[in-house]
Amino acid sequence: MSALLETRDLSKFFGGLYATNGVSLAIEAGEVRCLIGPNGAGKSTLFKLIIGTYQPSGGQVFFDGHDITPLESHRRVNQGLSIKFQVPGIFLELGVEQNLRIALQRKVAPARMNDETERLLAFLDLAPSRHLAAGNLSHGQQQWLEIGMAIALQPKLLLLDEPTAGMSPEETFKTGELVKRLNADGMTIVVIEHDMTFVRQIARKVTVLHFGKVFLEGTLDQVVNNDDVARIYLGKE
Amino acid sequence: MNWLSRFNGPQTLGEGGVFWSLFVVTVIVLATVPLYAEFFIVNNLAYFLLWTFMALGLSLIWGHAGILSFGQTAFFGLAGYGYGVISINLGDAHGLTWVAFVGALILPTLLAAVVGYFMFYGGVRDVFVGIVTLSITLVMETFMAQTAGPEWAIGTARLNGFNGMSGMPPLTIPWFGDDSIMLDGNPFYWFVLALVVVVYLALRWLVNSRFGNVLVAIRENPDRAEMLGYNVRLYQLAVFTIGGTLAGISGVLYTTWGSYITPSAMGLTAAALPIVWTAAGGRKDITTTLVATVFLLWVSQTLAVKGAQYALVLMGVLLLVVVLLAPDGLVLLVVRGIGRVFRRGQPAGSNNGAL
């Protein structure tokens, strides 16, 4: 079976700087894949190339067997991609419930709107905050709200850019369970993450990026026991 | 009352029985004004109301979709001149003024669509939209101001340069036999009032629809809206075009009201006023914009009796005050103040999240 998402030799340079330098990556349907790597390794840039915020300097992105490289972001999203940004991208002045409705209305018929909104609010533990402006939520709740908006689209592939940044250990654990539950329901998920406990909780396969290239791919144990990985992370010689 | 729920929602203030009762009472009071008030008042009211379409359009594109256009007067002026040129050429028999009316609305709609296409698909964003639209209206003013010579005529309609165009017929409804009803005086007032009610309700429905949800999403965070699969530029283009049509309605009505339009209708001062009305009222709500526009026009006109410049100075000051002290607008400031007095002792109300 071919991969759900495939990048072929994907590159992006800003001026003379390569943020992503020939990344070839294949994500199978049903996977939870973690992308790790030091700051500046090109992880977020890779996500932005996949979702279409950036046009690549070279290479292609294939999704579900189609070349989506020339497509605008909203078209990629309508094909089944969805993303949670690193900095929470929510509608700060709008109510929590309305944030979710704006996302849900893509997929849900008006008659089922109220039920689906309730379901999602409960799933995200945000029902008590439904009338708050989203900007008044805690940072962790904002992250969940954005995840909620991303999954409201019922995507085939969900990209999560540092979903647990700024979360307490309990919140992080809960996020991990949420990711596992979504995956159990059939969603393929790619996560950029620094928290190794979280990575261990959710992922079987890990890809290490370094200087815009795929440095290593394997299980978490293979990766953390690899001397080269320790060297690039900690600067060991 | 389920049909009423279509006009309520997170993007509009006022949804209870009290609000809608007040709405009905206001409409009835306004509709009966000609029965007991002198013509001067009716004529002024018609004048105040005819401007509200441009303000409502600005509330839609700026307050809801986050696009600050500084040049709605370009569409206003084009529609006004369009009505003049078409109606003078066609005359007012057989209801042909309605052809002029519709034609005059098609022109600004097309202009808005073309300008919007190049702006939004060309990556013009934020404050630059204001600069581009302002430039367009100033260019149009400058152009029209130099059309004084006899060579500047379309058919029998002279453009008349800085002195402006006049002599266009009012809207007429053909009646039995050779009769026709001219929409001036009281009929014109009723026509404008009816149009305000229809457009107000239509906009309430629109901003609370799925389309309206996407507009506020784009205002709040265009990138997130795009990542929810919405074609942001297409929505921006659509709403900007609607705004152009609404400004056009004001333009046509203004031209028929005084049978007169001049290039200064597209000038800098004229372009700034709708911004003041909309901002002062509270641009994120249709109702506050409508109320504030009528109120401020009344204030301006009252002051203008004592000298035209006072009103403009006041409008400038008002804009400053609103921007600095009451970003949600004066209407909401007053309403909240009254609400606070009534609700004293109770916990803070669950005010609308959208505002």
Q: So what's the pLDDT on residue A234? A: 66
Record: contact A153-B231, CB cut-off 8 A: no
Least reliable range by pLDDT among A145-149, B121-125, B155-159 = B155-159
Q: pLDDT confidence of A235, banded at 50, 70, 90?
A: low
Chain A nearest CA to B317, separation (Å): 27
Nearest to A91 among B220, B229, B232 (CB): B220
Chain B nearest CA to A58, separation (Å): 23
In a domain, B12, yes or no: no
Q: So what's the pLDDT on residue B308? A: 67
Nearest to B10 among A74, A83, A95 (CB): A95
Which residues 4-33 on chain B approach chain A with CB closer than 8 angstroms?
A: 10
Higher pLDDT, A227 or B106: B106
Residue B255 lies in domain:
41-267
Higher pLDDT, B297 or B15: B297
In a domain, B317, yes or no: no
In a domain, B82, yes or no: yes
Record: contact B213-A105, CB cut-off 8 A: yes
Residue B105 pLDDT > 50, yes or no? yes
In a domain, B147, yes or no: yes
Percentage above 70 pLDDT, chain B = 95
Question: Hey, is B74 helix, strand or coil?
Answer: helix
Nearest to B353 among A73, A82, A131 (CB): A131
Q: Backbone dihedral region of B111: left (phi > 0), alpha (psi from -120 to 50 degrees) or beta?
A: alpha
Residue A28 pLDDT > 90, yes or no? yes
Task: Please count the structural domains in chain B.
Answer: 1
In a domain, B222, yes or no: yes
Chain A nearest CA to B68, separation (Å): 18
What value does the mean pLDDT of chain B take?
Answer: 88
Least reliable range by pLDDT among A97-101, A128-132, A227-231 = A227-231
Higher pLDDT, A8 or B314: A8
Judged by a CB distance cut-off of 8 A, whether residue B210 touches chain A is yes
**Mean pLDDT, residues A32-36 taken together:** 92
pLDDT digits (tens, 9 = 90+) for B180-216: 777 788 889 999 999 999 999 999 999 999 999 999 9
Judged by a CB distance cut-off of 8 A, whether residue B216 touches chain A is yes
Minimum Cα–Cα distance from B227: chain A residue? A74
Judged by a CB distance cut-off of 8 A, whether residue B148 touches chain A is no
Q: So what's the pLDDT on residue B80? A: 95
Higher pLDDT, A92 or B336: A92
pTM of the model: 0.90
Residue A186 pLDDT > 80, yes or no? yes
Residues in chain A closer than 8 A to B223 (CB atoms)? 53, 85, 89
In a domain, B277, yes or no: no
Rounded to whole angstroms, the Cα distance separating A35 from A208 reads 6
In a domain, B241, yes or no: yes
**Mean pLDDT, residues A206-232 taken together:** 86
pLDDT digits (tens, 9 = 90+) for A122-175: 988 899 999 999 999 988 899 999 999 999 999 999 999 999 888 889 889 999
Residues in chain A closer than 8 A to B232 (CB atoms)? 74
**Mean pLDDT, residues B313-319 taken together:** 83
In a domain, B339, yes or no: no
Q: How many CB pairs below 8 A link A and B?
A: 75
**ipTM for the assembly:** 0.91
